[in-house]
């Protein structure tokens, strides 16, 4: 049984991870409001092990530090961290070119999707032992090998997240903490839309199979457990 932390666990993939992992593991999710956190916990169908939430805004260092102070009261250590919290500003999904994208949107997205992950990881590693795992939820839209057009803010944030993943994997290897970035696929969430080819449960089952599997590399970019080019 693992102690697992999921950021942004009140909706989409995060909520799917909570619903599946809470059957066999202790899970704490983060949410930006108490109402969202409570609703997520109450939505669990099966009786959980030890499940709770903490209020945390990954955009703010003070909020992350306070959130992890609460997590430390509940968990002696963290075995697995899912850096799942992320945003895709609706108006910037696909139809605005790079030269027409405003700087504020880029900085806002970067603050959540990239620096937010760094803020959370800084606090998480203080509670991690040898063998701990960090999974950064990235996206194929940040993949340099097959980079497309549109959604500049989101693409930049995920490409930078992939770079952050490599750096952290290198630096944390001495402590035997593994760090990987994964693309969850095109998923039927608020972000992915109803036309996506994967349900939340289909994507989450693949994520969990990799995250808790016997074979867990470090410093890699993967989709459905298979290594893909950066």
CB half-sphere exposure, 194, CA atoms < 13 A: 0
Per mean pLDDT, which range of 64-68, 87-91, 127-131, 140-144 is the poorest?
A: 87-91
pLDDT of 180 > 80? The answer is yes
- For domain 3-227, give the fold: Rossmann fold (3.40.50)
Find how far residue 103's CA is from the centre of its chain: 24
Measured CA to CA, the distance from residue 139 to residue 157 in angstroms comes to 10
pLDDT of 87 > 60? The answer is yes
Residue 104 neighbours by CB distance under 10 Å: 10
Closest CA to 82 of 228, 226, 207: 207
Average pLDDT over residues 201-219: 94
181 token code pair: 């970035």
In this prediction, what percent of the chain has a pLDDT beyond 90? 84
* Burial group, residue 67, by CB count within 10 angstroms (0-12, 13-18, 19+): buried
DSSP alpha helix (H) spans, 88-199: 103-110, 116-124, 152-172
Closest CA to 166 of 185, 142, 200: 142
Q: What is the pLDDT of residues 141-156, one digit of tens each?
A: 999 998 999 999 999 9
DSSP conformational letter for 167: H
Instruction: Give the model's confidence band at 55: pLDDT under 50 very low, under 70 low, under 90 confident, else very high.
Output: very high
Are the C-beta atoms of 138 and 153 separated by less than 8 Å?
no
Per mean pLDDT, which range of 35-44, 130-139, 168-177 is the poorest?
A: 35-44
38 token code pair: 């409570």
pLDDT of 34 > 70? The answer is yes
pLDDT of residue 194: 66
Closest CA to 39 of 58, 20, 60, 18: 18
Q: Regarding predicted confidence, which is higher, 72 or 201?
A: 72
**So where are the chain's domains?**
3-227
């Amino acid at each position: 049984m693992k102690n697992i932390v999921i950021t942004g666990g009140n909706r989409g993939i995060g909520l799917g991870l909570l619903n599946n992992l809470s059957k066999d593991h202790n899970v704490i999710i983060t949410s930006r409001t108490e109402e969202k956190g409570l609703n997520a916990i109450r939505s669990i169908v099966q009786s959980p092990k030890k499940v709770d939430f903490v209020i945390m805004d990954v955009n703010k260092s003070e909020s992350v530090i306070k959130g992890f102070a609460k997590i430390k009261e509940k968990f002696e250590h963290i075995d697995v961290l899912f850096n799942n919290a992320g945003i895709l500003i609706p108006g910037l999904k696909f139809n605005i070119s790079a030269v027409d994208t405003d700087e504020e949107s880029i900085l806002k997205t970067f603050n959540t999707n990239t620096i937010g992950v760094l803020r959370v990881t800084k606090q998480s590693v203080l509670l991690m032992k040898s063998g701990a795992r960090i999974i950064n939820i990235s996206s194929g839209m940040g993949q340099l090998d097959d980079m497309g057009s549109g959604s500049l803010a989101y693409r930049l944030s995920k490409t930078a997240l992939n770079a952050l993943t490599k750096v952290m994997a290198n630096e944390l290897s001495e402590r035997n903490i593994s760090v990987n970035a994964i693309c969850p696929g095109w998923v039927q969430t608020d972000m992915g839309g109803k036309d996506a080819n994967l349900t939340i449960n289909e994507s989450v089952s693949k994520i969990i199979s990799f995250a808790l599997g016997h074979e867990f590399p470090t410093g890699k970019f993967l989709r459905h457990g298979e290594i893909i080019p950066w």
